[in-house]
Structure 1
Amino acid sequence: MTTQRATAEPGMFCLVLHSHLPWLPHHGRWPVGEEWLYQSWASSYLPVFDVLRELADEGRENLLTLGITPVLAAQLDDPYALDGMHHWLGDWQLRAHEAAADPALGDLGAREHRGAARALETFETRWRHGASPPIRELVDARTVELLGGPLAHPFQPLLHPRLREFSLTEGLADARQRWGSAPRGIWAPECGYTPGLENLYARSGVEHFMVDGPALHGDSALGRPVRESGVVAFGRDLPVSYRVWSPKSGYPGHAAYRDFHTYDHGTGLKPARVTGRHIASDAKAPYDPLLAERALGRHVDDFVETVRARLRDESERLGRPALVVAAFDTELFGHWWHEGPQWLGQVLRALGDAGVRIGTLAQARDDGYVGAPVDLEDSSWGSGKDWRVWAGDQVADLVTLNSEVVSTALDSVDKAFDSAAAHGHSRLRDRVADQILREALLTVSSDWAFMVSKDSAAGYARDRAHKHAHATREIADALARGKRSQAERLAAGWHLADGLFPGLDARRLGSRGSGDL
């Protein structure tokens, strides 16, 4: 492992993790649905938070910037999902117990049983009342900076300006309610950007946000204020980030690591190591934790040296201390890459020992790692770094659907409040209007277009988009026909499945003509 170095490296390194899943409770279980949530929770969120808590207990501060989308936070605090997770962990332990009794799977079963027992203990002692308490512990310990985002993770450049502003301001309010303070920065969904978004961010109190490196023409060595807004865009450093994981390669594909795709179908456990890229599942070698541990050590050292070299090179190029920002989906660590949480803990210790200053995006901004203003253009972190994943031919029908549903929702909510005003009613909370906006936001989640474009559970994604679209139309239609009681029953029924964001309040939707960039 990397040893202590006396010489400090120039500049600062920021690690950013983006934690996100679409709303999954009550919408299927297997192969896509709640199982996706529980697997990610068990294999990523629990162990990653364990690592961060251990580092906090060592007195380490400002280790990373942690983005948690409002829709994920809602699931991790949801009573139904918490009960489902508890059952899932118990089932994991039972499956491991069954495997341990099989002579062919004994070592795998014993190893998985220990993992399940640890996860159950962690969940029951720290997570049983939701994720907000352990998140706030890390914030109070100054271990992380939190990034928020808009409700339900919409691709903002394609969203109607009124709903765009509503989803962002409500998302920041949701974060404040859960964690005690509004985040200074956000992870814009899919790093999607279009000119003018910086003005919305400035109005909403957002000081900084993430873009992909190519949005800054590859020059991500400093944060860059966007036009005259004062809002800073931080770019993902692709040479460093891609060292860990890229569309073509990365550490998790090493032969010694546990293979994500290979299952023992009797127990649902994963018995194999990657072995080789083109080797069939039934020919893969058994997983060997010692082999994986040795590979992990090499990859920790490799990443530390990569960061050190990048800091030196970029600082020399700029003629001043440079910033390096590496950003990943949190779910990479554990869910996709079994050894990822262990790698994360070792890297965060090793970087400091190697003389690398680690900080958060807020620290980078406050400490002056900011360059000249930049005129950002349309961009994302998707394929081609443009909007094709969310606006291409493959998803043209979803683009049309989203536009129609948003128009229906805005029109319906406006008419509901206009009618109340015309009848002299005070502007009280309207649960029907709230649910219309809630279903519309779930319809326009960026996940559905992403899954279709990537042909990843595309059928499930289309079904989800159309289900929430149907809910929006059904409630709105009852209102349009003057069937208020029916609309209330429909809204209450849909709320049973889609009751996230309890603070969402349609009265805060901007008036017609507001929300323009």
Structure 2
Amino acid sequence: MAIGYVALVLHAHLPFVRHPESDYVLEEEWLFEAITETYIPLLHVFDGLKRDGVDFKLTMSMTPPLVSMLRDPLLQERYDEHLSKLEELIEKEIEHNEHNGHIRYLAEFYASEFSKVRETWEQYDGDLVTAFKQYLDSNNLEIITCGATHGYLPLMKMYPQAVWAQIQVACEHYEETFGRPAKGIWLPECAYYEGLERMLADAGLRYFLTDGHGILYARPRPRFGTYAPIFTETGVAAFGRDHESSQQVWSSEVGYPGAAEYREFYKDLGWEADYEYIKPYIMPNGQRKNIGIKYHKITGRGLGLGDKALYDPYWAREKTAEHAANFMFNRERQAEHLHYIMQRPPIIVSPYDAELFGHWWYEGPWFIDYLFRKSWYDQGTYEMTHLADYLRNNSTQQVCRPSQSSWGYKGFHEYWLNETNAWIYPHLHKAAERMIELGSLEPADELEWRALNQAARELLLAQSSDWAFIMRTGTMVPYAVRRTRSHLMRFDKLYYDIKMGKIDSGWLEKVQKIDNIFPSINYRVYRPL
């Protein structure tokens, strides 16, 4: 009989990036890369586990922006074209490397992988949300929600209606998508502030995730640390991240993804190939970019890209089996130790960004596959669970008040409020004030109704924490700045047009087509609570 639980939690999220006004925008490929390298490979893992009788349990957020993009016909069409170009290029690579044995072997490997992706894409007619939903329906997968646009909630807490809109719009979108209410929420950036749990309870949510110190510094101090959830005074449960298991995967120093056998992310055919040869597959302006075809392995720490050896997926897969066995062994010992101390079964919660598995760590889906299989067949110390099942079977927990917290640098909001991005918040706060004001209006006609709803969309899109995150990391900063400014400018125009009673119907129609997230939104979500 198992004496503990392990809960793997994946956070599947991308910012809402959709540009029907342009033929090509590089940032749309964030979604395309994730579909090819993360989402469809995860479906392949789930399909294989189900086929082989492994009753796996996994918690996974699917954020509203991601779901909206996955179901958008324009982006589905563009992804199909993106995949076709990959398939075309890899066939050329097979022919081009006819006399280069190892590269040809790798090209044939990629051709096989792209073929499997194509088969799954066509099996579901491009609707991957339906593909994931089948595992929600079988109770193998617990899909949870997030903020409507991943807004950073502690930095808008002075406007409760703005926080409520992020939560309520997300919950309504989840129910429209999956046909049932959401039970849990991945708080954007795992950022919590005291009092947030009341809104979560009012929205019908049962639990949320926070970083470990959000539980460890709770009041009173939780008896079992992060190895049992705590109940807030509203009855909403909080699960804390386990540092030990997270470090084994996340850490750049000791984490699994840094192994020499694994694929090197930063050495890509888009930068390596002859320019004229690769030109049809890079950006229309002729600028090179990552293609997603990579022929080299990490090889060793401290090596330059020119010193990388060729990759071999056979040995990389063998390494994932070794790492999955090591992860399982460590969780067994951890569960045994904790059970002895706690005198009750601990739960070890291991949350990660989903895109780590496949996109950043190419072998990540293989690791997940091996981990579930080994946990099912090779041990009896712990049981793999998802968070909803755990709460259903463990309904008595200590009542505490979690600590304000986030994940990321220093764990208390600094990554999302610093010298690189502080300028956005006065503008977001002013827009929130104005949206709350608009929330009390009654529309004079259908045009004003549409304008009020679009104003709500623009504010939500401007609030995405992804833009502040990108500004802090220093990558793609001009795009993040442009997106923040464009949504705020559109909001301001809508606000003044509504106040003056002179709505530009042609401009509104254009903006509605571009920023078409949440078609069922009701601006009244911003009315005083």
What is the correspondence of 1:382-397 to structure 2 with a 5 Å cutoff? Answer: 382-397=408-423
TM-superposed CA distance for 1:25, in Å, is: 1.5
Aligned to 1:69: 63
Match in the other structure for 2:287: none
Amino acid at match of 2:406: S
The residue that corresponds to 1:260 in the other structure is: 265
Match of 2:221 in 1: none
1:213 matched to which residue of 2? 212
State the one-letter code of the partner of 1:119: V
Closer/same/farther in 2, CA of residues 60 and 108 from structure 1, 3 Å limit: closer
1:148·1:175 contact (CA, 8 Å) conserved in 2?
A: yes
Instruction: Please give the TM-score of this superposition, normalised by the length of structure 1.
Output: 0.91
Displacement of 1:372 after TM fit? 1.1
Partner residue in 2 for 1:302: 326
1:123 aligns with 121
Q: How many Å separate the matches in 2 of 1:397 and 1:489? A: 31
Instruction: Give 1:167 deviation, angstroms.
Output: 2.1
Q: Is the partner of 1:33 in helix, strand or coil?
A: helix
* 3-state SS, counterpart of residue 392 of structure 1: coil
Partners of 2:181 and 2:69 in 1: CA distance: 19
CA deviation after TM superposition for structure 1 residue 54, in Å: 2.1
Superposed, which structure 2 residues align to 1:476-495 within 5 Å?
A: 476-484=495-503, 486=504, 488-495=505-512
- Secondary structure, counterpart of 2:269 in structure 1: coil
Q: Which ranges of structure 1 fall in alignment gaps of 5 or more residues?
A: 1-7
Compare 72-81 and 100-109 and name the one that shifted more. Answer: 100-109
Q: Is the 8 A contact 1:166 1:510 kept in 2?
A: yes
The 1:106–1:58 alpha-carbon spacing in structure 2 relative to 1, beyond 3 Å, is closer
The residue type equivalent to 1:498 in the other structure is D
Aligned residue number for residue 183 of structure 1: 182
Q: 1:370 to 1:310 in 2, by over 3 A?
A: farther
Whether the aligned pair in 1 keeps the contact of 2:61 and 2:144 (CA below 8 Å) is yes
Mapped partners of 1:95, 1:278: distance in 2: 31
Q: After superposition, where does 1:220-239 map in structure 2 within 5 Å?
A: 220-226=226-232, 228-239=233-244
Alpha-carbon deviations, 1:84-121, whole Å to 9, x = none?
A: 11111111101111211222442232121111111111
The answer to whether the 8 A contact 1:9-1:311 is kept is no
What are the equivalent positions in structure 2 for 1:375-414 lying under 5 Å apart? 375-414=401-440
Does the 8 Å contact 1:244/1:251 carry over to 2? yes
Once residues 382 and 500 of structure 1 are traced to their aligned partners in structure 2, the CA distance between those partners, rounded to angstroms, is 28
Asked whether 1:372 is paired with 2:378, we answer no
Residue number among 249, 257, 279 corresponding to 1:244 in the alignment: 249
In 2, the alpha carbon distance for the partners of 1:32 and 1:374 equals 46
Structure 1 residues 107 and 58, CA gap change in structure 2 (3 angstroms):
closer
Determine what percentage of the aligned residue pairs are the same residue: 27
Query: Are 1:40 and 2:34 counterparts?
Result: yes
Paired amino acid for 2:86: W
Aligned residue number for residue 527 of structure 2: 511
Counterpart position of 1:330:
354
- Partner Cα separation in structure 1 for residue 393 and residue 514 of structure 2: 45
Structure 1 segment 92-131 matched on structure 2, within 5 A:
92-103=86-97, 104=100, 105-128=103-126, 130-131=127-128
CA distance in 1, matches of 2:25, 2:297: 22
Give the alignment partner of residue 138 of structure 1, picking from 135, 138, 161.
135
CA displacement 1:472-507 (0-9 Å, x = unmatched): 1122222233212x1x33222112211011121213
1:135 positional shift: 2.0
User: Counterpart of 1:3?
Assistant: none
Please give the alpha-carbon distance, in whole angstroms, between the structure 2 residues aligned to 1:446 and 1:496: 23
Confirm or deny that 1:443 pairs with 2:462: yes
Instruction: Work out the CA distance in 2 between the residues paired with 1:14 and 1:155.
Output: 25
SS at match of 1:210: strand
Tell me, what secondary structure is at the counterpart of 1:21? coil
- Structure 1 residues 247, 495: CA separation in 2 closer, same or farther (over 3 Å shift)? farther
The whole-number CA distance in structure 2 between the counterparts of 1:337 and 1:91 is 23
Cα pair 1:194 1:377 within 8 Å, conserved: yes
Gaps of 5+ in 2: 218-224, 279-290
| Contact 2:338–2:346 (8 Å) recurs in 1 | yes
Could you tell me how far 1:127 is from its partner in structure 2?
Answer: 4.4
